[in-house]
Amino acid sequence: MSENAPPVITTQPVRPQQPTPQKKGRGWMWFSFFLLFIMLCGGGVFLMFAGMVGIAAGDLDTNSSRTEQTVRDYDSNNKIALIDLNGMIASFAVDASGHNLVQSLKRQFGWANDDDEVAAILFRINSPGGEVLASDEIADIVRESEKPVISVMGAVAASGGYYVAAPSDWIVAHELTITGSIGVIMSGYSVRNLMDKAGVQPIVFKSGKNKDMLSMNKREEDISDEERQIVHDMIGETFGRFKKVVREGRDPENRDGKDGQILTEDWESFADGRILSGNTALEQGFVDELGDLDEGIARALEIAGISDANVFRYRQPMNFSMMFPFLGKSEPQEIKIDWGVELPKLKAGRLYFLSPTLLY
């Protein structure tokens, strides 16, 4: 190669430089979880906050805390409120908001009485009875209602179930309804024999001789005559109140349904705790008419003096506390002893308006 020849230059293809990948943050992931939480809750957090504000303000009984479900639609401007009482009458909490049976019925009767469009109240009862105090409070609610109350008995409306119906303006029962059972019961159990067999000896310290009356630790022969008399007097006093509620409730002067049945002269002979069919109850004047909900509606229209009405019942809308009732609740620790027998779920030492044939 000569000195004047041009130099030979070789070239290689240059690959474009790839940008250095950057690490992605996790913010998008947490944001997605947040959106999913909002979607699942469906506004539940807001409802919970609103509920807390309502509780703090004592505003649980406002119109926003209920809805109305139509049962019979007759395209009328009038309304009849259908209020149900189902199961045993008791004072324990029955819903996630903490309202017991008495409070729930009191709110519903209050709503119906405050609604100018409601002409009458249908009180549908299917209950074997229950606690004396709770039954008496419900009877007061019925008695104090400003609107006519027509009680419609279902399969069972006995003892306390009849007690709460007695102050109604009209009582409808099916001919096969189990009702009556007018009386008071207080029961207890003695496990002393089982304790003796297991070698368990109770040690009792008491301030007075009757402080341990009705104790499960006592033998039947250890119950004194004085203790028996005390319990007997208490039951007699409560039984007298039961008969007074029936007598006054069935008095035509205390009812809007003045043309209904009246008690027979010997009605108290049927107030010995026996259960009655709807037919027998009608014959003795404990109920006014045989039928079902349809007869109850027709009678409500007649007593209210209207030709038609839509029948509805109240519903409490779903809220966050009902969806998650376990939030903020802790269950107390309990110690349970298995005695080898299953006892009915009644509180020992309490008075009950309860049909004994329906305890088990």
Q: Identify the pLDDT of residue 45.
A: 45
Q: Please pick, among 211, 244, 258, 347, the residue that the annotation labels catalytic.
A: 211
Q: Identify the pLDDT of residue 351.
A: 72
pLDDT of residue 265 exceeding 90: yes
Query: Out of 3-12, 208-217, 263-272, 334-343, which region has the weakest mean confidence (pLDDT)?
Result: 334-343
Left (φ > 0), alpha (ψ -120 to 50) or beta: where does 130 sit? left
Task: Provide mean pLDDT across the span 284-312.
Answer: 96
Residue percentage of the chain with pLDDT more than 90: 54
DSSP 124: E
Q: Identify the pLDDT of residue 52.
A: 42
The per-residue pLDDT for range 175-221, each reduced to its tens digit, is 999 999 999 988 877 888 888 888 888 888 889 888 888 888 888 88
pLDDT of residue 283 exceeding 80: yes
Contacts of 105 (CB under 8 A, 6+ apart): 83, 85, 138, 141
Per-residue tokens: 124: 């549908």
State whether residue 8 is helix, strand or coil.
coil
Task: Provide mean pLDDT across the span 156-171.
Answer: 97
pLDDT of residue 279 exceeding 90: yes
Task: Provide mean pLDDT across the span 11-22.
Answer: 54
pTM of the model: 0.74
How is 66-82 classified by DSSP, letter by letter? -EEEEEE----S-EEEE
CA neighbours closer than 13 Å in the CB half-sphere of residue 33: 4
Q: Which CATH homologous superfamily contains domain 61-326+347-358?
A: 2-enoyl-CoA Hydratase; Chain A, domain 1 (3.90.226.10)
The per-residue pLDDT for range 71-111, each reduced to its tens digit, is 999 999 999 999 999 999 988 756 555 678 999 999 999 99
The per-residue pLDDT for range 244-261, each reduced to its tens digit, is 999 999 999 999 988 999
pLDDT of residue 332 exceeding 80: no
Task: Provide mean pLDDT across the span 112-131.
Answer: 96
Domain spans, the chain:
61-326+347-358
65 catalytic? Reply is no
Dist CA 113 CA 143 (whole Å): 12
Average confidence score pLDDT of the chain: 80
Q: Identify the pLDDT of residue 238.
A: 96
Q: Summarize the chain as % helix, strand, coil (round to 5).
A: 35, 15, 45
Contacts 24+ apart (CB under 8 A), 50-56: 51/319, 51/320, 51/321
Q: Please pick, among 104, 135, 145, 159, the residue that the annotation labels catalytic.
A: 159
Contacts 24+ apart (CB under 8 A), 220-226: 220/190
Closest CA to 125 of 71, 79, 72, 178: 178
Task: Provide mean pLDDT across the span 311-324.
Answer: 68
pLDDT of residue 303 exceeding 90: yes
DSSP 173: E
Query: Out of 15-19, 71-75, 303-307, which region has the weakest mean confidence (pLDDT)?
Result: 15-19
159 catalytic? Reply is yes
Q: Which of the pair, 353 or 55, is modelled with greater confidence?
A: 353
- 199 vs 115, 152, 196, CA distance in Å? 64, 53, 5
CA neighbours closer than 13 Å in the CB half-sphere of residue 110: 13
The per-residue pLDDT for range 136-161, each reduced to its tens digit, is 999 999 999 999 999 999 999 999 99
Whole-number CA gyration radius for the chain:
34
Q: Identify the pLDDT of residue 188.
A: 78
Closest CA to 239 of 163, 178, 299, 313: 163
